[in-house]
């Protein structure tokens, strides 16, 4: 056995994984070049070699869960992986000139793909599984949770920063009789969203958050803050404060990290979410200081695991109906790696999901903690 293979086998064993073992979590190495590639490129090679078919596993989510719990990423961390962190610290990678890059790269992949993967409302954020039996129920529960937390009432105006295809907007209009202005950097989301919300008091804007105008009774941001960037957190909060009525309520729904991060892992950066980074709790709190009073902080990151697994199940159920020239075998393995490694990371509690409710001046008597 060569030295590279021996080392990788030892690393895997720390997570209770056997190379070419018989359990569902055991990696099956199909190309022996995998071992040297892993030692050279670390976690980036794990994802890219999976896309290339160099290894496989019956339960990818369980494998990643075990790797994350064993903290293997820190054990195999080549020096080249430090460069993205240094680059992110030196430059503002989420500046205005790059604002639409994430939309073009990820959210404009194809509405057919997202229709196949998501719930009936096309909600591309974590569901709320308390009392829910399936994805549609979990997403309806999440949207209702948001509406109740911000105290929606008929006739209110709402700004939705990062509105997606308008799932929140449609729900809020249907159930609470409000009007919604949604902004997104995705042309595909605007096109389909306008169709889905036709005849409703919903306005879609293809717009960077820095160009928002108007004052609203409520502001929500569901799964967009991950694209703002550490250097822009303060400016983002200032824009929300400017856009919110004095007696308004702002709800921030975001994936979060357990400690400060300055760059995504290189595989996710290249293939899934360029220029994106997860905030930690301290960064959110500091950005809001002097602008908002934090009324409530709700953590339910464990709910993202079943959400991601449901998305993967939907993908598998509908994949053959998609254009196979557009979504070929390598794309499928990339997408599967994205969804199932995320599920494993949330299961291992490496990633979190937070809903944070803010007001400008504080609500007399406080805000009811709604769960």
As a whole number of angstroms, the distance between CA 280 and CA 89 comes to 16
As a whole number of angstroms, the distance between CA 265 and CA 262 comes to 10
- Residues 303/343, Cβ–Cβ less than 8 Å: no
- Residue 191 confidence class, pLDDT cut points 50, 70, 90: very high
pLDDT value at residue 305: 98
Find the range with the poorest average confidence among 36-50, 195-209, 233-247.
Answer: 36-50
pLDDT at 242 over 90: yes
Among candidates 12, 20, 29, which has minimal Cα distance to 63?
12
Find the range with the poorest average confidence among 64-68, 77-81, 101-105.
Answer: 77-81
Q: Mean per-residue pLDDT for 289-304?
A: 97
pLDDT tens by residue, 12-68: 999 999 999 999 999 999 999 999 999 888 889 999 999 999 999 999 999 999 999
Interaxial angle between packed helices 43-51 and 329-347, expressed in degrees from 0 to 180 and rounded to the nearest 10: 140
As a whole number of angstroms, the distance between CA 75 and CA 52 comes to 23
Tell me the β-bridge partners of 182: 160, 204
Percent of the chain at pLDDT > 70 equals: 93
Residue ranges of the chain that CATH labels 3.40.50.150: 98-359
As a whole number of angstroms, the distance between CA 49 and CA 51 comes to 5
Q: Mean per-residue pLDDT for 241-249?
A: 97
Question: What is the DSSP secondary-structure string of 277-346?
Answer: -PPBHHHHHHHHTTT-EEEEEEE-GGGHHHHHHHHHHHHHHHGGGS-TTTS-HHHHHHHHHHHHHHHHHH
Q: Which residue has the tokens 């820095």?
A: 210
Fold for the domain defined by 98-359? Rossmann fold (3.40.50)
Interaxial angle between packed helices 135-149 and 167-176, expressed in degrees from 0 to 180 and rounded to the nearest 10: 60
C-alpha dihedral sign at 267, 270, 271, 272: positive
């Amino acid at each position: 056995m060569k030295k590279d293979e021996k080392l990788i086998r030892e690393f895997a064993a720390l997570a209770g994984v056997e190379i070419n073992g018989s359990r569902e979590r055991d990696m099956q190495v199909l190309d022996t070049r995998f071992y040297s590639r892993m030692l050279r490129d670390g976690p980036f090679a794990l994802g890219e070699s999976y896309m290339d078919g160099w290894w496989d596993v019956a339960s990818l989510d369980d494998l990643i869960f075990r790797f994350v719990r064993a903290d293997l990423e820190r054990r195999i961390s080549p020096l080249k992986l430090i460069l993205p962190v240094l680059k992110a610290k030196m430059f503002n990678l989420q500046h205005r000139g790059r604002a639409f890059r994430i939309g073009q790269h990820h959210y404009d992949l194809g509405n057919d793909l997202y229709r196949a993967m998501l719930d009936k409302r096309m909600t591309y954020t974590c569901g709320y599984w308390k009392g829910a039996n399936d994805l549609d129920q979990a997403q309806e529960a999440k949207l209702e949770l948001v509406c109740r937390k911000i105290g929606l009432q008929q006739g209110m105006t709402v700004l939705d920063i990062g509105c997606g295809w308008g799932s929140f907007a449609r729900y809020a209009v249907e159930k609470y009789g409000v009007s919604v202005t949604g902004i997104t950097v995705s042309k595909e989301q605007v096109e389909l969203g306008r169709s889905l919300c036709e005849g409703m008091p919903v306005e879609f804007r293809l717009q960077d958050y820095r160009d928002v105008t108007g004052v609203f009774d409520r502001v929500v941001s569901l799964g967009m803050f991950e694209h703002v960037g550490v250097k822009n957190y303060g400016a983002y909060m200032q824009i929300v404060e400017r856009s919110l009525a004095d007696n308004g309520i702002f709800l921030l729904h975001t994936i979060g990290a357990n400690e400060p991060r300055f760059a995504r892992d290189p595989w996710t950066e290249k293939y899934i979410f360029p220029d994106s980074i997860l905030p930690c709790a301290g960064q959110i709190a500091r950005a809001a200081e002097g602008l908002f009073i934090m009324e409530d902080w709700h953590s339910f990151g464990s709910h993202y695991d079943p959400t991601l697994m449901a998305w993967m199940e939907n993908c598998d159920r509908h994949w053959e109906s998609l254009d196979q020239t557009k979504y070929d075998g390598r794309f499928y393995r990339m997408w599967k790696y994205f969804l199932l490694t995320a599920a494993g990371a949330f299961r291992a509690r490496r990633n979190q999901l937070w809903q944070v409710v803010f007001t400008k001046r504080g609500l007399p008597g406080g805000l009811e903690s709604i769960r």
